[in-house]
Amino acid sequence: TPNARVKRDQQQEAVVVDGTSFSLNGDNFSYRFHVDNDTGDLLSDHFGGSITGDIPIETVAAVNGWVGEQGRVRREFPDQGRGDFRVPAMRIRQAEGYTVSDLQYQSYTVVQGKPPLAGLPATMGSESDVTTLIVHLYDNYSAVAADLSYSVFPRYDAVVRSVNLTNKGTGNITVEALASLSVDFPYENLDMVSLRGDWAREAHRERRKVEYGIQGFGSSTGYSSHLHNPFLALVDPFATESDGEAWGFSLIYTGSFSVQVEKSSQGFTRALLGLNPSQLSWPLGPGETLSSPECVAVYSNNGIGGMSRRLHRLYRNHLMKSRFATADRPVLLNSWEGLGFDYNQTSIYQLAQEAADLGVKLFVLDDGWFGDKYPRTSDTAGLGDWVPNPQRFPNGLAPAVRNYTAIVTANTSSHLRFGIWVEPEMVNPNSDLYHEHPDWALHAGPYPRTERRNQLVLNVALPEVQEFIIDAVSNILNSADITYVKWDNNRGIHETPSPSTDHAYMLGLYHVFDTLTTRFPNVLWEGCASGGGRFDAGVLQFFPQIWTSDDTDAVNRINIQLGTSLAYPPSAMGSHLSAVPNQQTGRTVPVSFRGHVAMMGGSFGLELDPATTPEEDKAALPGLIALAEKVNPIILTGDMYRLRLPEDSNWPAVLFISEDGSEAVLFYFQTNPNVNHAAPWVRLQGLDPQAMYSVDGNATYSGATLMNIGLQYYFDSDYGSRVVFLERQ
């Protein structure tokens, strides 16, 4: 390719091509593969620490065994039906019905920068940030082309992969499986780390040994879901938070997905991430292309913490499009846990006023404000009818919002901002919308339309539904001074007209997200799906923050937030201080502990009714709000070090260090009482060993001392917490 800026034998270049050998390089990693001369297949050579020059290869005598040659090689993009008995990265049902493929190398292209991915969220970067290698494969028998894309972000030790499959033949084919990424490691001893959960207990870290055979997880719910997150880490069995090799894989996708890890008879480990084959069966007519979502792969040689920090930085700088991605977030009060559905014009105004009196900057009106003929006063009616409830807002939203935004917030001269909750992908059968357009709800012919939370899912694959949502949300935003939207989604997808509807829905949803966020760039958008049911990189492209969980219990939240941080930046987490006893767990913990946990997320807020908050707690709120505002810039842009995990210790601790290293903030907790046991030291990480740091404006210690000895804090009861500031001298 004449345009390609390819320099041979210079390993520091992001992409180096030598004949038919390909080398991708970052600051601390190399990724190598080559074309097999006999078969035309792409074979993997390396994904790990940086290497240069030739690779030693010992030719092993062929054995005429059951798995044969195909099972003894490491493949870049394993197709189906030619003797590789491991799980394939793609399966195509040809027009004639068979599912054999033979993808052979044709050519390559190198692009400085990164081409967009049609219709899908994707990482972005300039020519100096990223270089893209596209390898063109072709199956001569079926006339199917596969373009494998590898975008290298050298400073993040990241390579971002996707695949375009094109039907260049004349018949109709069906794509039954398509992974975004497939890697074959030459190791047989790896651990896999993933995030599992359910509603109100998302993102629980699961670490297990990769065993022989296929193991995996995914989502068939139509969304990324609370059940398993579209993220996988493969780690050395001895890897810890701060040491050892870790490979992180994160799918930029919000729909049903699949992660499979297979340890095979020859001692290799294959990992695949991509669309869920059980919900694909994508028809591909002549000339049509199916693009896989992107999958990010990062390599870390400083443990699982290093892996997370690479993903956090990449996502903050090269995925999140919002202008608020790294901008200070207003402290908000959300009406949901305080008032639920139970409010009127007066009580909701009072809530806004009391929020402002505490120093809150943004008032968020959650569920319950809309529906005329079918008012949304409970979860049984109204979804789909996006007009203000005339009982609650007799003159519409505009005058009410004018009243709220006339309120001046405590200790400032600025006015309260206003935000609103919507759930536009859904419809209650009790709604005007459903009566008008029953066919817009997802359904499978005559099968009953099963309801969850009394609602059905709109078929967002339909252009008319996309237009309806775009118009409805635009009308709301144009009707009043609204600067924040919480976009909710509270059920999974059940009956669909065809398996491919799932992915078609996602393409429709991304079109809607893209249109609205482009049209309203000054709105701060927050994603939500019954809490963290869609906490994924696909949503983060459009919405810079996501409500992390409906469980606001501060002790549980340490696990959920640190789990979520395995893949996603803390800046993206919505986390609120709520009332006690906690609505989900019944637990009572001190207000400072609740506040300190919540301010580890980028979007700090309150989720309570100040009118019923005990005076003592209420008195603490302005101070906690001020503290949250002080730490917020470091949380939004800094590096996170999970010093001690809540699963391992009674003293979980997290350190955030600002981008320039000049400031740091330590969060230190004690969850259970500490009876007759010394207060442990917490050793810091990531500081400059030579530099001096003042601790809370008092004593000054060297970075080396803070990292090798640490700090010690004592609490005389359970639920103790400290927030400690460090300043580089």
Of the two residues 22 and 199, which places its CB atom closer to ligand GLA in the complex? 199
**CA atoms of 158 and 497, how far apart (whole Å):** 38
Answer for which of 528, 636, 640, 654 binds ligand GLA (CB under 6 A) is 528
Nearer to ligand GLA, 22 or 568 (CB): 568
Residue 289 beta carbon to ligand GLA: minimum distance, rounded to whole angstroms:
36
The answer to the question of residue 489 lying near ligand GLA (CB under 6 A) is: no
Separation between Cα atoms, residue 653 and residue 312, nearest integer Å? 18
Find the part of the chain contacting ligand GLA (CB under 6 A) among 61-69, 104-112, 232-240, 528-536. Answer: 528-536
φ, ψ for residue 259 (rounded to 5)? -125, 125
Q: Which is nearer to ligand GLA, 219 or 428 (CB)?
A: 428
Q: Closest approach of Cβ 489 to ligand GLA, in Å? A: 9
Give the Cα separation of 441 and 77 in Å (integer).
37
Subset of 451-470 contacting ligand GLA (CB under 6 A): none
Q: Which is nearer to ligand GLA, 79 or 366 (CB)?
A: 366
Which span (84-92, 443-451, 526-534, 721-729) binds ligand GLA, by CB under 6 A?
A: 526-534
Stretch that binds ligand GLA, among 16-24, 76-84, 525-533, 624-632 (CB under 6 A): 525-533
- How many positions of this chain bind ligand GLA (CB under 6 A)? 11
Residues 343/345/351/355 CA torsion (nearest 10 deg): 140
CA–CA distance, 560 with 195 (Å, rounded to integer): 10
151 vs 224, which CB is nearer to ligand GLA?
Answer: 224
> Which helix (H) or strand (E) covers residue 649, if one does?
none
Please name the amino acid found at residue 420.
Answer: I
Nearest approach, Cβ of residue 368 and ligand GLA (Å): 8
In this structure, the number of other CB atoms found within 10 A of the CB of residue 108 comes to 20
Binders in 646-665 for ligand GLA, by CB under 6 A: none
Burial (CB count within 10 angstroms: exposed 0-12, middle 13-18, buried 19+), residue 718: middle
Please confirm, yes or no, whether 84 is among the known catalytic residues: no
H or E stretch at 616:
helix 615-637
Q: Which stretch binds ligand GLA (CB under 6 A): 80-88, 175-183, 523-531, 715-723?
A: 523-531
Residue 425 Cβ, how far from ligand GLA at the closest point, in Å?
A: 13
With a CB cutoff of 8 Å and minimum separation 6, the contacts of 726 are 663, 664, 665, 666, 684, 687, 693, 694, 695, 706
Indicate the residue among 133 and 331 with the shorter CB distance to ligand GLA.
Answer: 331
One of 84, 129, 385, 550 is an active-site residue; which one? 550
Least CB distance to ligand GLA at residue 528 (A): 5
Omega before 186 cis (within 30°)? no
Task: Please answer whether residues 154 and 50 qualify as being in contact, where contact means their C-beta atoms are separated by less than 8 angstroms.
Answer: no
Closest separation in Å from C-beta 13 to ligand GLA: 47
**Interacting span for ligand GLA (CB under 6 A) from 527-535, 537-545, 652-660, 693-701:** 527-535
Minimum CB separation of residue 365 from ligand GLA in Å reads: 11
CB of 385 to ligand GLA, least distance (A): 15
Considering only residues 14 through 53, tell me which ones interact with ligand GLA, judged by CB under 6 A.
Answer: none
CB closer to ligand GLA, 299 vs 421: 421
Rounded distance between C-alpha atoms, residue 528 and residue 552, angstroms:
14
| C-alpha torsion sign, points 217, 220, 221, 224 | positive
Nearest alpha carbon to residue 523 among 515, 531, 534: 515
Among residues 154, 384, 531, 610, which is the contact residue for ligand GLA, using CB under 6 A? Answer: 531
Looking at the Cβ atoms of 544 and 574, the one nearer to ligand GLA is 574
Sign of the C-alpha dihedral computed for residues 122, 226, 304 and 309 taken in this order: positive
Closest distance to ligand GLA from the beta carbon of 523 (Å): 17
Is 208 exposed, middle or buried, given 0-12, 13-18 or 19+ CB atoms closer than 10 A?
exposed
- As measured in angstroms, the least distance from the Cβ of 334 to ligand GLA is 7
Report d(CA 488, CA 532) in Å as an integer: 10
149 contacts ligand GLA (rule: CB under 6 A): no
Binders of ligand GLA among 394-423, rule CB under 6 A?
421
Adjacent-strand bridge partners of 701: 693
User: Looking only at residues 108 through 147 of this chain, which bind ligand GLA when binding is defined by CB under 6 A?
Assistant: none
DSSP string across 459-515 = -TTSHHHHHHHHHHHHHHHHHTT--EEEE---------SSTTHHHHHHHHHHHHHHH
Within 420-449, which residues bind ligand GLA (CB under 6 A)? 421
Rounded Cα gap, residues 279 and 224, in angstroms: 13
Residue nearest to ligand GLA (CB): 367
The SS3 assignment for 424 reads coil
Of the candidate residues 23, 490, 552, 670, the single one contacting ligand GLA (CB under 6 A): 490
With binding defined as CB under 6 A, does residue 553 bind ligand GLA?
no
403: Cα separation from own chain's centroid = 36
603 is a contact residue toward ligand GLA (CB under 6 A) = no
Q: How far apart are CA 197 and CA 535, in angstroms?
A: 12
Of 139, 202, 366, 425, the one binding ligand GLA (CB under 6 A) is 366
The tokens describing 453, both together, are 């939370």
Considering the rule CB under 6 A, would residue 582 count as an interface residue with ligand GLA?
no
The answer to whether 550 is a known catalytic residue is yes
| d(C-alpha 729, C-alpha 716), whole Å | 32
Separation between Cα atoms, residue 350 and residue 450, nearest integer Å: 39
Given a contact cutoff of 8 angstroms between Cβ atoms, the answer to whether 571 and 577 are in contact is no
Copy the structure tokens of residue 125: 């970067």
Comparing CB distances to ligand GLA, the nearer of 496 and 530 is: 530
Separation CA 165–CA 284 (nearest Å): 9
Q: Which of 79, 184, 245, 550 binds ligand GLA (CB under 6 A)?
A: 550
Query: What residues between 327 and 356 interact with ligand GLA by CB under 6 A?
Result: 336
Which residues, 212 to 231, sit near ligand GLA by CB under 6 A? Answer: none
* SS3 of residue 681 by DSSP: strand
Q: Please report how close the Cβ of residue 366 comes to ligand GLA at its closest, in angstroms.
A: 5
Q: How far is the CB of 533 from ligand GLA (least distance, A)?
A: 8
Rank residues 203 and 528 by Cβ distance to ligand GLA and give the closer one: 528
Of the candidates 45, 79, 129, 367, which one interacts with ligand GLA according to CB under 6 A?
A: 367
Residues 6+ apart with CB under 8 A from 570: 312, 561, 600, 601, 602, 635, 640, 656
Q: Which stretch binds ligand GLA (CB under 6 A): 121-129, 512-520, 524-532, 661-669?
A: 524-532
Instruction: Answer yes or no whether residue 384 interacts with ligand GLA by CB under 6 A.
Output: no
In the bound state with ligand GLA, the residue whose beta carbon lies nearer, of 147 and 366, is 366
Cβ 529 to ligand GLA shortest distance, Å: 7
Interaction residues for ligand GLA, span 469-488 (CB under 6 A): 488
* Identity of the residue, 28 or 583, whose beta carbon is nearer to ligand GLA in the bound complex: 583
Catalytic, out of 79, 184, 385, 488: 488
Helices (H), 359-436: 397-406, 432-436
Taking the C-alpha atoms of residue 463 and residue 460, their distance in angstroms, rounded to an integer, is 7
For ligand GLA, the closer of residues 491 and 644 by Cβ is: 491
Residues in contact with ligand GLA by the rule CB under 6 A: 336, 366-367, 421, 488, 490, 528, 530-531, 547, 550
Catalytic annotation, residues: 488, 550
